[in-house]
Structure 1
Amino acid sequence: MATTTVHRSARTRENASAAGRVRAHSPYTNWFYLPAAVIYGVLFLVPTVIAFYFSLTRWSIFDSKFIGFDNYKTFFQEPALVSSLWHTLIYAVLTSGLKVVLGLGLAMLLTSQIIGRGYLRSVVFFPVLVSTIGVGLTFTVLMNPERGLINQSLDLIGITGPGWLTDPSLALISVGLVDVWKGIGLATLIYIAGIVSIPQEYFEAARMDGAGAWDNFRHIVLPLARPATVTVIILSLIGGLRSFDLIWAMTKGGPGFTSDVIASVIYKQYQAGFYGLSTAGNVVLFLVVTAIVLPLSRFLNRKEVEL
C-alpha cells in the first residue's frame, strides 16, 4: 500500500512537471505583448523609419526628391548648425550636473528632521508643475537687464546686474539655470525616494560606531542611493539634449546664434521651408542622444551591479 502511494505521488509530480513544461512553452502568454508591440511600432518605429527616409530627400508637403546624404553634408558644413550641436552638449551637461548635485543636497535636507518638511517638499516640487512656456516668459521679464526684478535687487546692494539674456556669453547659461530651477523638484523627489528606502539599520549601526553626518552621507547615502543618481543623470541628460521650449520662449536662440541648440535650429529650418534639412537635423539629434545615453546607461548600471 505504501508502495502504491509512493508511485501515485511520483506520477502526480511527473504530471505536474509536464503541465508546467507545457505552460512554460505555451505561446499563449506571448499574445499579451502584441498590443504594446503594435502601439510601439505605429507610434515609434514607423515614424522613425519615415524620418530617416525623408532626411535623404528634398521634400515639401506635396512632393519629394531623393538627394542622398546632401542634407547631412549641408548640416555639418553650416557653422550655425555645428555650433548648435556644441551648445546642446554644454547645456545638457550643465543642467544635468546641477540637478544631480542640487537635487541630492535638497533631498538630504528634506529627509532630515526639519520644521515644515512636508510643506518645503511641496514648494520644491511646485516648479515642475508649471508650464515651461510660462516659466520662460516669467524669467524673461525677471532677467530684463534694465527693468528686471533680479537686476533691480542687485542694484540695491551695489552690484550692477549683467544682461542675462542679451549678453552672448551668458544667454545659454542663464537659460540653463532657469531649466535647473524648473527641473530640480523632480530630481529632488527621486532622491528623496531613494534615501527613504535605505534601511534604518545602516544608520543605527553607523551611529553605534560613532559615525557622523558626513560619514553617513559618504558611506551609506551615496552608495545606496546610486540607483536614484543613475535615474536623475539619465533623465536630466535626455531632457537637456532635447531641450527646446524653454530656450525658444526666453531667447529664440539669440542673441545671434549664441544660445541656439539643435532643436531650435531644426525649428528655424522648418519655418524657413527647409524640411529635408530639418529632418536630417532631427535624425542627427536622435543619433546624438542615442550615442550618449545608451553607453552611459549601460556603464552606470554595470557599475551599480558590481557594487
Structure 2
Amino acid sequence: MENASWYTREKAEPSEEYGTLPEKRSIEELLQKGFFIVDKPFGPTSNQVSHWVKEELDLKKTGHFGTLDPNATGTLPVGLNQGTRVNNALAQADKEYVFLAELEEEKPEEEIRETLQEFKGANKQTPPEKSAVKKEEREREVYEIELLEASEKEVLGRVKCESGFYVRVLIKQLGEKLDTQAEMQELRRTQQGQLAEKDADTLQDIVDAYHFYTEEDDEQALREVLHPIEKAVNHLRKVVVKDSAVNAIANGADLGAAGISQLQDGIEKGEQIAIMTLKGELIALAEAQMTSEQMYDSEETAATLNSVHMDPETYPKRWKQE
C-alpha cells in the first residue's frame, strides 16, 4: 500500500552481500518469478491468454490473477513459473471497471446518475449463471461509482469495487431500478490492486519483446513488460524485517515483532500483509496477529505465514554482526 505512512521500530541497514533489489534481478530470474500485465483482448478466455503466454515463451507454468470473461478486456496479470504463487493476493485485490450498458428504454441522464449512486456501499448479488462460483447470494462493496456518459439508450460508467463483484449483475440491477431492461455491451478492467491499464501490454508486444531477448540478445524491451512479483503486492500493507530475521521467515518461521525494522500504519489484526526485506524483496505473505500500534511495542508473534516467496538460501542462517 504505497500511500500508507511508515514507522521505524528499529533502524537497520541492508547488507550489500545478500539479496538483490527487485528491479536489478536478471531476466532469467524474472522469467522464473515474475509476471506480465496483459491487456487482455476481446474473445479468448483468461485461461487461454495465460496458456498462450506459456506456449509462446516456452515456460513451465503460467497462471492469471483474477478472471476476465471472454467478452471483457483490460488488465489481466499473468504470473510466470514461481510467480504464479502470488495469485491469491492479487486475485483478491480491489478492482476498477469501465462498462457500457444498453437500456431497453431511454431514461433521463440525471435519473441514471442518481440510480448508480444507490449502489455505492454494500451490495447483495447472486453470481450469474455463466460464472464458475456457487450461485449463492453474497455481499460485496462498491467504493466508487459514476456515470461517465449517457447517450440515448447507452450508459457508460465506472465502478471501483471489492473483488468478486459482478458488473454484469450490477447492470441487470440498474435496469430493474430504472424499471426497464439493461444489458452489458462492453466491459474493461482498468485497475486491479495498484496495477492500472496504463501498465498493461498487448500479447503481441510481450512476444515481440521476448523474441528481441532470445534472438537478438536485447533485453531492454522485455524489461519494460516483465515485472518482479513485488509489484503484484503493492496494494498490501507491509512490514520490513531486519536482515537477521529473513532466513528464519524464508524457512517458514512466523514473524516475531522483535525482527521488525519498519512497518506501515493501519495494519489490522487478521489482515493479509507482505513481509519484505530492507531491499524491498518479498519474503512471505502473512496474516497479521496484531495491529501496527501493537507491532511497534510488542515482542510477541506479529504475523503468521500464509505463503513463502523467497528461496530460503538467499540470506544466511546466522547473521554475523561486526
TM class by shorter chain equals under 0.3
Q: What's the TM-score, normalizing by structure 1?
A: 0.25
> Bigger radius of gyration, 1 or 2?
1
TM-score (norm 2): 0.24
Which structure carries more helix by proportion?
A: 1
Q: Which has the higher contact order (CA 8 A, sep 6+)?
A: 1
Judging by fraction of residues, say which structure has more strand.
2
